[in-house]
């Protein structure tokens, strides 16, 4: 059986092994695949793996032999799931593989904003401290997290992990979620106070987004929502870029209503040169790397191979189609 990886470079730029797939069939790995290359590369192929190569209906219609699409990610919006379901194409994803890494990135962004570690390291290296008369100096205000309120919009495994770290730092943690908060959930996360979205936005010093991108969450953070937040609020986004109305957030950063933004995601990636966040003050942007630690990608590879193995064995897991 031939297994085609259409865009393997993102997952594996050469530092991990494709061996878990090699034992399952004849493996062909492409670093990147342009839209017009999909058909020739998948001609007669029943199994493929994709990260960001898209499979809308008009593409799937021209691939009658395709029976399995393994998404090398948690998100699976690159595939027309409705068409796949209607035509018996099994689509799988990789849930929860980046829980620890994404929680780590969330806290890293918060700490960078509050302690400005990178900025002060740069000042030390450029000689500013050497020229200073005092044994210490700081450029701009620093923020102690103890006693601050962290609001988590969305509360799955990543947010739960973040809440435990924040609680250990002495923060109060609020959270809201779309579905019902069960007794078991409250018992598992006693450090969290569950509230509605309006309360979370109004009472949080820092708001971190951990929600999927849906019709309800796209453009969620508008100017009117920002107006209900505390003056000087800090926003963190490690979920999906379009959750924020970037123009509204940039405007609030300029006015000072939002003190700082830490984001690992933006609405269009790679970021466009005219994205308003690039010129907004106090904006900390990273290039969608929360999921990218070596250990995290190895876990993704392992689970993706297990997904395919289970499918080949007739008992598919992590099916989203």
pLDDT over 70, % of the chain: 100
Is the pLDDT at 180 greater than 90? The verdict is no
Asked if 136 and 191 touch (Cβ cutoff 8 Å), the reply is: no
Q: What is the mean pLDDT of the chain?
A: 96
- Tokens 């997904």 locate to 307
Q: What is the C-alpha to C-alpha distance for residues 287 and 310, in angstroms, rounded to an integer?
A: 33
240 in active site? yes
Q: Which CATH superfamily includes the segment(s) 99-285?
A: NAD(P)-binding Rossmann-like Domain (3.40.50.720)
Q: Which of the residues 240, 246, 297, 299 is marked catalytic? A: 240
| Intervals of CATH 3.40.50.720 along the chain | 2-97+294-312, 99-285
Distance of CA 271 to the CA centre of its chain: 15
Is residue 95 within 8 A of residue 285, CB to CB? The reply is no
- CA gap 231, 286 in Å, rounded: 24
- What's the confidence (pLDDT) of residue 75? 87
Sign of torsion, CA 35 41 46 47? negative
Q: Decide the pairing of beta strands 258-263 and 283-285.
A: parallel
Residues whose CB is less than 8 angstroms from the CB of residue 121 and which lie 6 or more positions away in sequence, other chains included: none
Chain segment 206-247, per-residue pLDDT in tens: 999 999 888 999 999 999 999 999 999 999 999 999 999 999
78-221-207-232 Cα dihedral, nearest 10 degrees: 140
* Per annotation, catalytic residue among 172, 210, 288, 299: 288
Mean pLDDT calculated for residue range 15-26: 96
This prediction has a pTM of 0.93
pLDDT single digits (tens) 25-36? 999 999 999 999
Which of 113-127, 140-154, 181-195, 288-302 is the least confident region?
181-195
Regarding the domain delimited by 2-97+294-312, which CATH topology (the fold level of the hierarchy) does it fall under? Answer: Rossmann fold (3.40.50)
Indicate if 119 belongs to the active site. Answer: no
- Are the C-beta atoms of 230 and 205 separated by less than 8 Å? yes
Q: Is 210 a catalytic residue?
A: no
User: CA-CA distances (angstroms) from residue 117 to 113, 125, 132?
Assistant: 8, 12, 18
């Amino acid at each position: 059986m031939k297994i085609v990886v259409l865009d393997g470079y993102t997952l594996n730029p050469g530092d991990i092994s494709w061996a878990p797939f090699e034992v399952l069939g004849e493996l062909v790995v492409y670093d990147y695949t342009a839209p017009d290359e999909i058909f020739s590369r998948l001609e007669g192929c029943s199994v493929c793996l994709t990260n960001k190569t898209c499979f809308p209906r008009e593409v799937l219609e021209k691939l009658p032999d395709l029976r399995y699409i393994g998404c090398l990610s948690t998100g699976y919006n690159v595939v027309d799931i409705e068409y796949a379901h209607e035509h018996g194409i099994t689509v799988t994803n990789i849930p929860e593989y980046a829980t620890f890494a994404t929680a780590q990135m969330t806290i890293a962004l918060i700490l960078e904003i509050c302690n400005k570690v990178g900025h002060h390291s740069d000042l030390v290296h450029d000689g500013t401290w050497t020229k200073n008369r005092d044994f210490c100096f700081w450029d701009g205000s620093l923020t102690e997290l103890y006693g601050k309120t962290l609001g988590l919009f969305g509360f799955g495994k990543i947010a739960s992990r973040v809440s435990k770290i924040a609680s250990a730092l002495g923060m109060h943690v609020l959270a809201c979620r779309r579905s019902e908060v069960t007794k078991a959930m409250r018992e598992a996360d006693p450090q969290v106070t569950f509230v509605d979205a309006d309360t979370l936005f109004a009472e949080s010093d820092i708001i971190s987004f951990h929600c999927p991108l849906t019709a309800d969450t796209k453009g969620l953070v508008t100017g009117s929502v920002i107006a209900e937040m505390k003056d000087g609020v800090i926003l963190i986004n490690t979920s999906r870029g379009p959750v924020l109305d970037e123009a509204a957030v940039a405007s609030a950063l300029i006015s000072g209503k939002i003190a700082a933004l830490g984001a690992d995601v933006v609405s269009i990636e790679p970021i466009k040169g005219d994205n308003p966040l690039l010129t907004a003050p106090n904006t900390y942007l990273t290039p969608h790397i929360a999921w990218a630690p070596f250990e995290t990608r190895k876990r993704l590879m392992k689970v993706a191979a297990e997904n395919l193995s289970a499918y080949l064995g007739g008992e598919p897991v992590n099916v989203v189609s």
